[in-house]
Amino acid sequence: MATTSPAGGTGGMRSGLFARRSLESLVAQPDEEGGEKLKRAVGPVQLTALGIGGTIGTGIFVVIGEGAELAGPAVVLSFVLAAVACMFSALSYAELSSSIPISGSAYTYTYASLGELVAWIIGWDLVLEYGVSVAGIAVGWGGNWNEFLDSTFGWEMPTAIATSPENGGVVNLPAVVIVLAITAVLVLGVRESARANLVMVAIKLVVLVFFIIVAFANFSSGNLTPFAPEGRDGVVSAAAVIFFAFIGFDAISTGSEEARNPKRDLPIALLASLAICTVFYVLVALGAVGLASSDQLAGSEAPLAAALDDGAGISWAASVLSFGALIAITSVCLVILFGQTRILYSMCRDGLLPRGMARVSPRFGTPARLTVVLGVLIAILAALVPLSEIVKLVNVGTLFAFVLVNAGVIILKYRQPDFPRAYRVPWNPVLPLIGIGFSVYLMSTLEWETWIRFLGWMALGLIIYFAYGYRHSRLRSHPEEVA
């Protein structure tokens, strides 16, 4: 006999907290709904650029110094190890994004594999991860803008309007400007956003190629001795730091619903962007340690510029690298804010947040209302709120998402083995389990204060879910979509 669910329908636990959306209903949902839909307007090149744009940012311009301090010249191996750790999760993203080509990334995949409550938890986690990340990136953009002005023109903006109250200013105006500018680009359309990102990716790769050429032309093998002064422990410790320079490739999956041929293009873009970023990272790291000593790199806030200045005698390198960092940060900000809007769009469309926010603009083919609201909120956050500690939540949020995506691939392999998949993770469940292991290990290295803040945010999310999301969920009114 059917039992009554808390929402008043039938079906018992099938429509309860852990009710799962069927894969068929997820894939069919955009075509079944009336009104405007997101435009499928981007191909494999733009999607790959989206991954590169979201990955290569301030990390490559700063993290080499931190890694060199821990591992010495063996920081090159740390980059390889971090890339391998990411590759396992990238394979899982490739399978799920091509099988379920819907906006929402890990949130959507978890809805199909682990149920609504877990999907809400990861969706709420990603709201924090992406939102705080964009605000933090925008603050970094403001700092690099002033550094670029100083190194190029010998002039800086006044502190009062150039930094947040956390750093002695009144308002971080550059951070506000860059967030609002990117918001405007995202509102205009995914094709326009992809083109802007493609140009920025090309510029920052040219800057890195410039560094690589100069570095290898002035390479000194003596800087590679001793190669691994701290041994294996140093390499692993540096990899844990460097791992976060690879975060961002997963934003490709948030654009699944706007890909022209998602079943083919998404796996290509995910794996290609990670491979390209890895090649650039390894070459830049090798060039840096061959151009300057590990001590010189570790002691600088701008290690690549310092390497060019000390190793090649190019004093104007700071301007080139500052410009490259500006472009890199801008593209990362654009990609991450894009991902943020698409995840929230999916949560609103599923009824877990107000559906009205998911309305697609008939003129632009984007969730314009949602994008503007998010842009304004993030601009305020970047302008006024201290971010030095809460930015660390980005780390735990990303790794938590990686764990659930890898788990989702394993679960769906056994629950729905016959569902068509354009790409399959090889040696499933072995490789996804390795991806989970890497992510859990890196999560264990995070500070306990970060975990407390993370759990506090999760508690707030659960209050919102039980007060609003559960009652308004699409599954309460469409029980036939329960898996």
pLDDT at position 313 is: 78
User: What residue segments make up the domains of the chain, in order of their start?
Assistant: 12-474
Q: What gap in Å lies between CA 204 and CA 408, rounded to an integer?
A: 34
Cα angle at 252 between 248 and 254, to 5 degrees?
105
pLDDT at position 8 is: 40
Point out which residues pair with 259 in neighbouring strands.
Answer: 42
Question: Residues near 72 by Cβ (< 8 Å), separated by ≥ 6?
Answer: 226, 227, 228, 229, 230, 234, 289, 294
Burial classification of residue 426, based on how many CB atoms lie within 10 Å of its CB (0-12 exposed, 13-18 middle, 19 or more buried): exposed
Structure tokens at 35: 């009104």
Residue 420 · residue 402 · CB < 8 Å: no
Burial classification of residue 105, based on how many CB atoms lie within 10 Å of its CB (0-12 exposed, 13-18 middle, 19 or more buried): buried
Looking at residue 4, what DSSP letter applies? B
Give one word for 20, left, alpha or beta, with left for phi > 0 and alpha for psi -120 to 50.
beta
Per-residue model confidence as pLDDT tens digits over 312-370 = 778 777 788 878 888 988 998 999 999 999 999 999 999 999 998 888 888 888 899 99
Q: Which long-range contacts (CB under 8 A, 24 or more apart) does 300-303 make?
A: 300/65, 301/62, 301/65, 302/61, 302/62, 302/147, 303/61, 303/62, 303/64, 303/65, 303/68
pTM for the whole structure: 0.85
Q: What gap in Å lies between CA 324 and CA 247, rounded to an integer?
A: 19
H helix runs in 243-316, sequence order: 262-291, 294-298, 303-312
Cα angle at 194 between 189 and 198, to 5 degrees?
155
Max Cα–Cα distance, the chain, nearest Å:
81
Q: What gap in Å lies between CA 388 and CA 382, rounded to an integer?
A: 11
Helix (H) or strand (E) holding 441, with range, is helix 430-444
Our CA dihedral for 236, 241, 242, 247, rounded to 10 degrees, sits at: 130
Point out which residues pair with 10 in neighbouring strands.
Answer: 4
| Alpha-carbon separation of residue 259 from 48, 107, 281, 349, 469 (angstroms) | 11, 18, 27, 19, 28
Helix (H) or strand (E) holding 186, with range, is helix 173-188
Residue 331 · residue 204 · CB < 8 Å: yes
Residue 103 · residue 253 · CB < 8 Å: no
Residue 179 · residue 378 · CB < 8 Å: yes
Structure tokens at 165: 């109250």
Looking at residue 467, what DSSP letter applies? I
Q: Residue for token digits 């701290």?
A: 230
pLDDT at position 421 is: 87
Top-tier CATH class for 12-474: mainly alpha
| pLDDT mean by block of 10 residues, the chain; 483 residues | 38 65 80 64 89 84 82 92 90 91 87 92 88 83 79 82 78 91 92 90 92 89 88 87 80 86 91 94 92 79 77 77 86 91 92 90 88 93 75 79 92 88 91 93 82 91 95 87 80
Burial classification of residue 213, based on how many CB atoms lie within 10 Å of its CB (0-12 exposed, 13-18 middle, 19 or more buried): exposed
Size of the chain in residues:
483
Question: Residues near 13 by Cβ (< 8 Å), separated by ≥ 6?
Answer: 19
Residues 77-101: b if buried by 16+ CB within 10 A, e if exposed = bbbbbbbebbbbbbbbbbbbbbbbb
pLDDT at position 299 is: 65
Burial classification of residue 385, based on how many CB atoms lie within 10 Å of its CB (0-12 exposed, 13-18 middle, 19 or more buried): middle
Question: Residues near 409 by Cβ (< 8 Å), separated by ≥ 6?
Answer: 92, 95, 96, 425, 428, 429, 432
Determine the 3-state secondary structure of 446 from DSSP.
coil
Q: Which residue type occupies 357?
A: M
